[in-house]
Structure 1
Amino acid sequence: MQVSVETTSQIERRVKVQVPASEVDQAVASRLKDTAKNVRLNGFRQGKVPMSVIRQRYGRGVRNEVVSEMMRERYVQAITQESLNPAGYPQIEPTVDEEGKDLEFVATLEIYPQVELNGVEGAEVERPVVDISDADVDEMIETLRKQHATWEEVDREAAEGDQVTIDFQGYIDGEPFDGGKADNHELVLGSGSFIPGFEEQLVGAKPGEDKTLNVTFPTDYQAEQLAGKEATFEVTIHKVSTQQLPEIDAEFFEKFGVEDGSEETFRAEVLKNMQREADKAIDNRVKQQVLEALKKANDIAVPQSLIDQETDGLKRQAAQQFGLGEDFDVSQLPNELFSEQAKSRVQVGLLLAEVIKVNEIDASDDEIQAKVEEVAQQYQEPEQVVEYYMNNEQLKNQIKSSILEDKAVDRLLEQASVKDVEMSYQEALQAAQQQSEDDDADENEASEDETQA
């Protein structure tokens, strides 16, 4: 077997392979003999059909099978011989495939990029410092009360914060439009869930009243056919309900797993959960800044095959998130919606793998156990969660990968210029969310720039 490799880009290779005709023809002949043993043709006993007839009837098909198998086998031998590290599957095409002639084929493949890692020295990273106050805990408890609130019907005008049960029909230029009608819809006034102006005009409405609302759809409304259009809604108010918050008592505490009926225990549990959420937000904000700095310092070529794999994974996540069902064909979702995020993830993954390799970072069994126990604390029966994780190699590997990634980020953070910034609990959560949105926006902008180029 003769092999030659052509470099067509930083990460693309064309591997040309030549296999002696004698090897191919011998393999075809052997396969035809095996085929002949089981062939049934009129006028011949099984296994007694002349080889000339077998070759005439089955020769081309058998050769195609043999050549296809041989190309796959010799491709693996070739990349092993040439020490190539493929990313994804190759495109294999025969260039010479004739009896009596050497088999020649070309495999076009992408390889993992060679990364000469640049550090993040000098990168500026803001690290939130959060002190959760009693007022923050009080605010969180009020939020929890609202989440467990009930609604009680009242016979009065609707006020902001009330829930109204309504029928509505929308019109543009006097004609009904798709999606503009609903019956017995429950709407909380002031929630901002409807277009601007709709909820405000229902403040003061009474049960049994009919109202006509005039509104204008925002220019950036998601349904393009409605964006910027003036609309009229005919609304019937059936009910007005006021929110009833649960009492802060033992019954309320029990809903959150506090069984001793103590408000002190309940507040401590709320504080612990808030601290966990704040720590997570801080870590995420710091991590995203570090990873963004790492990407800027290392503009590497990213194999398209890996981007495609990641894009497919993001599509499946989106389908699951929006409840589209397991049978939903994710190919219906446009690649453009996910490709830049996928490219960013692959780039970060490749760079972090190099950081882990260069710094010889590893995770011990004890560290994995400790991380699993930390994750398990979020569940009602942590002991069962720990046992489940520790007996599942796939889940253990996921935990190990998470540990290695965190250690790599910590190692990079040592190189950066870190500035502690005092923030409130809410500011820290909002900052982490804003960081994530900014990163998504940067990826989308990069995608648009590439498209225009």
Structure 2
Amino acid sequence: MQVSVDTTSQIERRIKVQVPAAEIDEAVAARLKDAAKNVRLDGFRQGKVPMSVIRQRYGRGVRDEVVGEVMRERYVKAITDENLNPAGYPEIEASVNEAGKDLEFTATLEVYPEVELASIEGTEVERPVVEVTDADIDEMIETLRKQNAAWEEVERAAEDGDQVNIDFQGFLGDEPFEGGSAEGHDLVIGSGSFIPGFEEQLVGAKAGEDKELKVTFPEDYQAEQLAGQEATFKVKVNAIKAQALPEIDAAFVEKFGVEDGDLAKFRDEITKNMNREAGQAVENRVKQQVLEALKKANDIPVPQALIQQETDGLKRQAAQQFGLGEDFDVSQLPNELFAEQAKSRVQIGLLLAEVIKVNELDASDDEIKAKVEELAQQYQEPEQVVEYYLSNDQMKNQVKSAILEEKAVDVLLGQASVKDVEMSYQDALAAAQQQGGEAEEDADEAEEQA
């Protein structure tokens, strides 16, 4: 077998392979001879069909089968011998495939890029310094009260934040439009769940009152026939309910796992949870800045095959997020919506894998166990969570990947200039969430790619 490899780009290789004709022809002849033993044709006994007939009837198909197998086998041998690291599947095409002639084929493939990491030295990273204050805790308790509030009917005009029960029907001109009506619908004024301008016009309405609301559908409204259209809604207000917040007493506290109803313990638990969230927010904020700097300093080529794999994964996530169902064909979603994010994720995954490799980072069993125990504290029965994680190899590998990511970020952070910035609890959470979209889960692939 003769092999030559051409470098057509930083991440593309073209392998040309030549296999002696005798090797292919002998394999085809042997397979035809073996097949002839079981062939049944009218006018011939089983096993007595002349080889000329066998060759004429089955020769092409058998040769294609043999050639396909040989090309796959020789491709694997070639990439092994040439120390190539394919990213995805190759395109294999035979250029000479005739009896009596050497088989010649070409395999075009993408390979993982060779990465020489550039330092992120000089990068300024802002690290939030967050203190959870009594006011933050009071606000969180108030949020919990609202989440557990009841709705009580009131005899007054509707106010912002009230829940109104309404019947409504929408019209374009004098004609009602499909999907524009409902009966007994509960709507919280100010929730933003209806068309802009609809909810605001219900402020001041009273139970039993009929109202006529005029609104304009947004230009980008999902139903194209309604986008930008002016509409009228005839609304009947059935009832008005105000939010009744629960008292902060033992019964309320017990709902959150504080069995003895102790208010001080409840407040301590909330403080611990908020401090943990603040710590995670700070960590995420720092991580995103570091990863962005790493990507900017190392503009490596990214194999299209890996981008497509990541794009397909993002499509599946989107389908789940929007409840499109398990049977939904994600290929209907355009690649363009996800390609940029997919490329960024793959690029960061490749770079982090190199950081882990170059610095010989690893995670011991003790480190994995400690991380699992830390994660388990977020659950009501942490012992069961620890047991589940440590008895499941897949979950352990996920935790190991998270630890390696943290270590890689720490290595990179040591190259940067860190500036502490005071930030409120709410601002820290908002900043981390804002930055979290692009590079979230990028490093989950690092362990596989390392």
Alpha-carbon offset, residue 173 of structure 1? 4.1
- In the aligned structure 2, how far is the partner of 1:63 from the partner of 1:376? 59
Work out the CA distance in 1 between the residues paired with 2:32 and 2:241.
81
The 10-residue stretch of structure 1 (35-44 or 230-239) with the greater mean CA deviation from structure 2:
35-44
Can you list the C-alpha shifts for 1:36-67, whole angstroms capped at 9, x where unaligned? 23322233333333222222221111111111
1:286 aligns with 2:292: no
Q: In the TM superposition, what is the alpha-carbon distance from 1:269 to its structure 2 partner?
A: 1.1
Give the TM-score normalised by structure 1: 0.93
Determine helix, strand or coil for the equivalent of 2:401.
helix
Alignment partner, residue 102 of structure 2:
102
**Cα offset, 1:257, TM superposition:** 1.4
Amino acid at match of 2:167: D
Deviation by residue 1:196-253 (Cα, 9 ceiling, x = unmatched): 3211110111122111112233455555554444332221212211112222222222
2:184 alignment counterpart: 184
> Counterparts of 2:224 and 2:136 in 1: how far apart (Å)?
41
What is the deviation of 1:435?
Answer: 2.3
- Give me the CA root mean square deviation: 1.8
Separation (CA, whole Å) in 1 of partners of 2:393 and 2:439: 33
Structure 1: distance between partners of 2:437 and 2:314: 17
Q: Which amino acid aligns with 2:19?
A: V
Partner of 2:445: none
Residue 378 of structure 2 aligns to a residue whose secondary structure is: coil
Go from structure 1 to structure 2 and tell me whether the alpha carbon gap of 1:266 and 1:382 turns closer, same or farther (over 3 Å shift). same
| Number of the residue aligned with 1:384 | 384
Aligned length: 440
Which AA in structure 2 matches 1:376?
A
- Residues 9-55 of structure 1, C-alpha deviation per residue, up to 9 Å, x if partnerless? 11111111111111111111222122223322233333333222222
1:149-208, CA deviations, whole angstroms, 9 ceiling, x for partnerless residues? 221222322111110111222333444445433332211112222233211110111122
Deviation at 1:429, TM superposition (A): 0.8
Query: Gaps spanning 5+ residues in structure 1: where?
Result: 441-453
Quick check: 190-199 or 76-85, which moved more?
190-199
Secondary structure of the corresponding residue to residue 306 of structure 2: helix
Task: Specify the alignment match of 1:326 in structure 2.
Answer: 326
> CA separation in 2, counterparts of 1:377 and 1:127?
25
Per-residue deviation, residues 309-350 of structure 1 (Å, max 9, x unmatched): 000111111111222222211111111111111000000000
- Counterpart check, 1:8 vs 2:33: no
Q: Secondary structure at the match of 2:6?
A: strand
Q: Cα 1:91–1:186, aligned 2, differ >3 Å: closer, same or farther?
A: same
* TM-score, with structure 2 as normaliser: 0.93
Q: Hey, what's the Cα distance between the residues in 2 that align with 1:310 and 1:71?
A: 28
Distance 1:129 1:235, change over 3 A: same
Distance 2:417 2:174 in 1: 61
Counterpart position of 2:316: 316
- Measure the CA separation in 1 of the matches of 2:138 and 2:405: 35
One-letter amino acid of the structure 1 residue matched with residue 50 of structure 2? P
Following the alignment from structure 1 to structure 2, what is the Cα–Cα distance between the partners of residues 28 and 344? Answer: 48
Say which is worse superposed, 176-185 or 243-252, in terms of deviation. 176-185
Indicate the larger mover: 165-174 or 265-274. Answer: 165-174
CA gap 1:223/1:288 in 2 versus in 1, 3 angstroms: farther
1:365 aligns with 2:365: yes
Name the counterpart of 1:338: 338
Q: Which residue of 1 aligns with 2:196?
A: 196
Letter in 1 for 2:108: T
Task: Give the CA deviation at 1:288.
Answer: 0.7
User: Structure 2 vs 1, CA of residues 240 and 327 (structure 1 numbering), >3 Å: closer, same or farther?
Assistant: same
Equivalent residue, structure 2, for 1:60: 60
Q: Deviations over 1:367-401 (max 9, x none)?
A: 11111112222222222221221122122111111
- Say which SS state the counterpart of residue 24 (structure 1) adopts: helix
> Percent same amino acid at aligned positions?
77
Secondary structure of 2:47's aligned partner: coil
Q: Give the AA of the match of 2:406.
A: D
**Per-residue deviation at 1:113?**
0.6
Deviations 1:392-439 (A, max 9, x none): 212211111111111101110111111111111111111112223688
Task: Classify the secondary structure of the residue corresponding to 2:422.
Answer: strand
Cα distance in 1 for partners of 2:173, 2:386 equals: 61
Say if 2:160 is the partner of 1:152: no
| Partner-residue secondary structure (3-state), 1:164 | strand
